[in-house]
Amino acid sequence: MSVYHYNILGMDIKKIQKAQVEILLEVDRICKKYDIKYLLFAGSLLGTVRHKGFIPWDDDIDICLLREDYNKFIEACKMDLDPKYFLQTYETDKNYIRQYAKIRKNNTLFVQDNLSEIQIHHGIFIDIFPMDNVLPNTFRGMFQQKLMWIVGIINLSRVKKICLNVKNPVEKFLMLVCHYITKIIPKNWTDKLQTQIACMFQNQETKYVSHLTGGAAKRKYIKYMVKRDIFHNTIDGEFEGYVFPIPKDYDFILSKIYGDYMTLPPIEERKSHHGIIKVDLDTTNSQFKDVCKEKTAGDVR
């Protein structure tokens, strides 16, 4: 693996990954201080098991928390997050279109092509995903998934670049129609509606949880569905020389998501996936000093 060298826009990807590990350590500090359970998730879980750190070409870190711990984490960050970082949610950054949080590093840039036209904090980030209660194989559970997917598509369509990058021409047309319809629908309304749908079974003791806020298409809904007790049955996983919690049943989870996860993909598929078009590890002496609100095309309404 060391034979291959990976970079983003000419920058060694390891420098970006190092900044992301710094953010993760701050997240871990807060979670330990406030007794919040979390797990390394998705590609970061795979990287831990297969590489004891980042997948060498990966350009982000993912963690997940049960919704109740996610809410607790958000509140803890409001009080205790190091000023070097920024808690990004649709409440703290009004044009942010996702329903999960990111922790961004201030005075950095990591601009994604799809989001480059909107005025948000564009710093280097890690993703913080809530895992929500689901009821698979029930009518109510199916209704939650479908409704979450529909409202999610409507919300994403607010960003024209996302619509234009859809490959299927029919889907692209429908999203562009939604794009212009959303001009008259307040963003805070669809943001709150999505959260309400994701949390519709929050008062029930469901056996399963799933990752609904990253796109609730049926395939993703099933792929990321896990038993909620994985958060209480954890082991230590080595990631870039540090130890973080991972599910004890990681083999089942990774096999469900990736199949034969220990086999490396072909060389041509080993590339970062966020479509980064601008990166800067320190903007304090550049033209992008106001990294939290870099001026781009304007508000998403």
Question: Tens-digit pLDDT profile for the chain (301 aa)?
Answer: 445 678 888 889 999 999 999 999 999 999 999 999 999 999 999 999 999 999 999 999 999 999 999 999 999 999 999 999 999 999 999 999 999 999 999 999 999 998 988 999 999 999 999 999 999 999 999 999 999 999 998 888 999 999 988 888 888 898 899 999 988 989 999 999 999 999 999 999 899 999 999 777 888 999 999 999 999 999 999 999 999 999 999 999 999 999 999 999 998 888 888 889 999 999 886 554 444 444 444 565 5
Distance CA 167, CA 122 (A): 25
Per-residue confidence (pLDDT) for residue 293, from 0 to 100:
45
Per-residue confidence (pLDDT) for residue 2, from 0 to 100:
46
> Which pTM was predicted?
0.90
Residue 66 · residue 228 · CB < 8 Å: yes
Residue 91 · residue 77 · CB < 8 Å: no
Residue 128 · residue 69 · CB < 8 Å: no
Distance CA 181, CA 176 (A): 9
Per-residue confidence (pLDDT) for residue 4, from 0 to 100:
63
Query: What does the DSSP 8-state code read for residue 110?
Result: E
Distance CA 111, CA 279 (A): 6
In the three-class reduction of DSSP (H, G, I as helix; E, B as strand; rest coil), residue 94 is classed as coil
Closest CA to 208 of 156, 147, 256, 149: 256
Closest CA to 50 of 269, 255, 274: 255
Per-residue confidence (pLDDT) for residue 299, from 0 to 100:
61
- Domain ranges in the chain are 7-293
- Region at 161 (left for phi over 0; alpha for psi -120 to 50; beta for the rest): alpha
Structure tokens at 184: 């008259």
